């Protein structure tokens, strides 16, 4: 987030636990390649892969090279049109590999020896970044292992940082326990809890839109805004992640983390500076201001859905219950819609409607702000029957951009209004290099800027806010699952949620 993006990161060794995993191969390594290409990594950068799988650094390198080559022309997160051989070579020359079991203290001892030798021979200066690209059940063990081997101890001007992926806990109690365990051995400053939504340029741009322009902020409140809709609709189903999803569901997977980041960016008060703690304090305040509610209201204001068979983007899709590793009578939700209120002066009385789901009609992540309707008086004696409200749409993905919809007079002798749109598309103004979204986040870890990472209080506030829904759902069966067809806009009950308030979701098509 910092303007220090002009510089290379300081000398350091980065250790990836889970070196053979999907996250490393698809996102973290391509992001490092992009950072290397942009000359953000120092010559004294080293990358150490740690994994249970036996193998040599050569095996690791060649597996990664095959993976990078397979991205060329693909439609994955990283879709470069070619791999720059010199850049890739620069990065692979700096790799080493350590086979090790995360539950074995010897792994951390051997890692410590390896890092000490890199500090001496490669000039990594004692600066070490540990990236936990591993299953969440190993987070605590790994952090404890690092600490017992003395690898998290800072001193002599060097830093030690740990990046923790999601899922960060399973509910409020487990998130608290995880935070407590981590903070026993690390300072909050050393912990980087990642939420990849914050790596998306368009999410970061919400702050620029609001706080770098004089025109919007005066309208950004209950006097002018009728309601806000936040959508994270995906066309993909659970793919090969049935086992994970059966333990997780759409609410845990998306809401207290990604969707709340969008909510916090949209609803936060202006921070007094862009300092990490100032920004994170304002974001935490918004989540803490979500109006508490009980089980009855959770059942009324939150809707769960599960997809049945259908057609998504012209392809036949099987029902969630037929996906691999999913129970044939599973009651796990693949969709959630939720109406919430934020109890503060800016937002009192303005509902925020959130929805996220898999196997939906269209992929669309957006924040839609509906302004109050204008008074009718001016057009009373004209042909204008109905005035459409103004919407401002922040499109996070795809087609990143911002649109403002307003009424314009149609040419002609009588007064007829049409809704028109002022549209800003990122791609027409900026060259968008192939980007995984992890580049900024990784670079920020290396330069020690935690603005885009989640603090312990932020994580716990998120879980606290969703806990009543988790509890209410755990104690009741959904009854009518599956309740939306793959390729549709979600369950009918989600439409009723807004219908009750005389409102409707923005169409996904
Ligand atoms: C992940 C979730 O954190 O985010 C996935 O576990 C989801 O289920 C993904 O598909 C969405 O991220 P993106 O960047 O593809 O919108």
Q: Minimal CA–CA distance to 113: which of 149, 140, 144, 159?
A: 149
Express the helix, strand and coil content of the chain in percent, nearest 5 each.
40, 20, 40
- Among the listed residues 5, 240, 258, 372, the single catalytic one is 258
**Centre of ligand 1 from the C-alpha of residue 198, in Å:** 12
CATH of the domain at 436: 3.30.360.10
1-10, 69-78, 195-204, 396-405: range with lowest mean pLDDT: 1-10
337 and 465 inside one domain: yes
Assess if residue 6 is contained within a domain.
no
pLDDT at 77: 66
Residue 186's SS3 state is coil
Strand order in the sheet with 128-132: 95-99, 45-51, 12-17, 128-132, 160-164, 191-193
Question: Is the pLDDT reported for residue 127 higher than 70?
Answer: yes
**Centre of ligand 1 from the C-alpha of residue 28, in Å:** 15
Assess if residue 50 is contained within a domain.
yes
222 and 130 inside one domain: no
343 and 400 inside one domain: yes
Residue 231's SS3 state is strand
Q: How would residue 3 be classed by pLDDT, with cut points 50, 70 and 90?
A: very low
pLDDT at 2: 44
Q: How would residue 379 be classed by pLDDT, with cut points 50, 70 and 90?
A: low
Known catalytic membership, residue 258: yes
The answer to whether the CB of 39 falls within 8 A of the CB of 85 is no
* 46-80 b/e (C-beta count within 10 Å ≥ 16 → b): bbbbbbbeeeebeebbebbeebbeebeeeeebbeb
pLDDT at 407: 87
Phi and psi at 125, nearest 5°, equal 65, 20
Q: What average pLDDT does this structure show over 373-391?
A: 71
Pocket test for ligand 1, best of 235, 244, 253 (most atoms within 8 A of CB): 253
The answer to whether the CB of 451 falls within 8 A of the CB of 444 is yes
113 and 204 inside one domain: no
Token duo for residue 24: 């490393």
130 and 214 inside one domain: no
288 and 143 inside one domain: no
Assess if residue 171 is contained within a domain.
no
Number of domains in the chain: 2
Write out pLDDT tens, residues 178-222: 999 999 999 999 999 999 999 988 898 999 999 999 999 999 999
253 Cβ inside 6 Å of ligand 1: yes
* CA nearest ligand 1 atom 2, residue: 253
* CA nearest ligand 1 atom 12, residue: 197
C-alpha distances in Å from residue 91, one per residue of 18, 29, 48, 439: 18, 9, 11, 15
Boundary (domain end) residue, out of 118, 147, 165: 165
Question: Is the pLDDT reported for residue 71 higher than 90?
Answer: no
Q: What average pLDDT does this structure show over 79-98?
A: 94
Token duo for residue 451: 């603005």
Question: Is the pLDDT reported for residue 1 higher than 60?
Answer: no
* CA nearest ligand 1 atom 8, residue: 253
Write out pLDDT tens, residues 318-377: 999 999 999 999 999 999 999 999 999 999 999 999 999 999 999 999 999 999 987 766
Domain that holds residue 445: 198-499
Give the DSSP H/E element, type plus range, for residue 456.
helix 456-474
Cα-Cα-Cα-Cα torsion 379, 380, 382, 387, nearest 10 degrees, comes to 50
234 Cβ inside 6 Å of ligand 1: yes
**Centre of ligand 1 from the C-alpha of residue 81, in Å:** 24
**Centre of ligand 1 from the C-alpha of residue 453, in Å:** 17
Q: Minimal CA–CA distance to 372: which of 394, 349, 356?
A: 349
pLDDT at 76: 67
Assess if residue 508 is contained within a domain.
no
Q: Minimal CA–CA distance to 370: which of 478, 498, 272, 260?
A: 498
Residue 206's SS3 state is helix
Question: Is the pLDDT reported for residue 4 higher than 70?
Answer: no
Boundary (domain end) residue, out of 145, 165, 185: 165
Q: How would residue 380 be classed by pLDDT, with cut points 50, 70 and 90?
A: low
Question: Is the pLDDT reported for residue 434 higher than 80?
Answer: no
C-alpha distances in Å from residue 88, one per residue of 63, 85, 222, 437: 13, 5, 51, 19
CB neighbourhood size of 112 (10 A): 15
pLDDT at 40: 96
pLDDT at 432: 73
Q: What average pLDDT does this structure show over 82-104?
A: 97
Atom of ligand 1 nearest to the CA of 397: 16
Q: How far apart are CA 359 and CA 462, in angstroms?
A: 25
Q: Minimal CA–CA distance to 257: which of 462, 461, 460?
A: 462
- What is the pTM assigned to this prediction? 0.93
Boundary (domain end) residue, out of 140, 165, 190: 165
* 8-28 b/e (C-beta count within 10 Å ≥ 16 → b): bbbbbbbbbbbbbbebbbbbb
Percentage of the chain beyond pLDDT 70 is: 96
Write out pLDDT tens, residues 453-471: 999 999 999 999 999 999 9
Average pLDDT value over all residues in the chain: 93
CATH of the domain at 80: 3.40.50.720
């Amino acid at each position: 987030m910092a303007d220090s993006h002009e510089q290379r990161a300081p000398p350091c060794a980065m250790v990836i636990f889970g070196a053979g995993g999907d996250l490393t191969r698809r996102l973290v390594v391509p992001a490092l390649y992009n950072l290397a290409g942009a000359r953000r990594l120092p010559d004294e950068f080293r990358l150490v892969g740690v994994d249970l799988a036996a193998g040599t650094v050569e095996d690791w390198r060649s597996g990664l090279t095959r993976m990078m080559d397979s991205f060329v022309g693909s439609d994955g997160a990283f879709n470069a049109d070619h791999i720059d051989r010199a850049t890739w070579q620069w990065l692979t020359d700096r790799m080493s590999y350590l086979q090790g079991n995360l539950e074995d203290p010897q792994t951390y001892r051997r890692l410590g020896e390896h890092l000490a030798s890199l500090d001496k021979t490669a000039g990594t200066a004692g600066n070490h970044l540990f990236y936990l690209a591993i299953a969440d059940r190993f987070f605590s063990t790994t952090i404890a292992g690092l600490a017992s081997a003395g690898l998290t101890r800072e001193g002599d001007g060097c830093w030690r940082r740990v990046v923790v992926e999601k899922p960060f806990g399973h509910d409020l109690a487990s998130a608290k326990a995880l935070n407590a365990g981590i903070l026993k051995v690390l300072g909050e400053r050393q912990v980087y809890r990642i939420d990849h939504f914050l790596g998306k340029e368009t999410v970061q741009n919400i702050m620029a839109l609001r706080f770098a322009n004089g025109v919007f902020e005066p309208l950004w409140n209950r006097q002018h805004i009728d309601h806000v809709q936040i959508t994270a609709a995906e066309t993909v189903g659970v793919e090969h992640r049935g086992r994970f999803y059966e333990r997780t569901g759409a609410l845990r997977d998306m809401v207290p983390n990604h969707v709340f980041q969008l909510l916090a960016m949209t609803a936060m008060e202006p921070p007094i500076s862009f300092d990490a703690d100032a920004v994170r304090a304002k974001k935490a305040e918004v989540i803490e201001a979500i109006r508490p509610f009980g089980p009855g209201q959770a059942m009324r204001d939150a809707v769960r859905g599960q997809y049945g068979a259908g057609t998504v983007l012209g392809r036949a899709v099987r029902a969630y219950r037929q996906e691999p590793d999913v129970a044939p009578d599973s009651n796990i939700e693949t969709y959630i819609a939720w109406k919430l209120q934020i109890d503060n002066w800016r937002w009192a009385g303005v509902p925020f409607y959130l929805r996220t789901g898999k196997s939906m009609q269209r992929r669309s992540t957006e924040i839609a702000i509906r302004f109050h309707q204008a008074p009718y008086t001016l057009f009373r004696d004209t042909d204008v029957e109905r005035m459409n409200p103004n919407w401002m749409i922040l499109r996070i993905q795809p087609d990143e951009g911002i649109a403002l919809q307003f009424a314009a007079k149609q040419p002609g002798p009588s007064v007829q209004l049409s809704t028109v749109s002022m549209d800003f598309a990122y791609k027409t103004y900026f060259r968008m290099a192939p980007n995984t979204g992890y580049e900024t986040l990784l670079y920020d870890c290396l330069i020690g800027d935690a603005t885009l990472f989640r603090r312990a209080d932020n994580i716990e506030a998120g879980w606290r806010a969703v806990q009543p829904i988790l509890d209410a759902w755990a104690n009741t069966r959904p009854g009518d699952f599956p309740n939306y067809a793959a390729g549709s806009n979600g369950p009918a009950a989600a439409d009723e949620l807004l219908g009750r308030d005389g409102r409707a979701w923005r169409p996904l098509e």
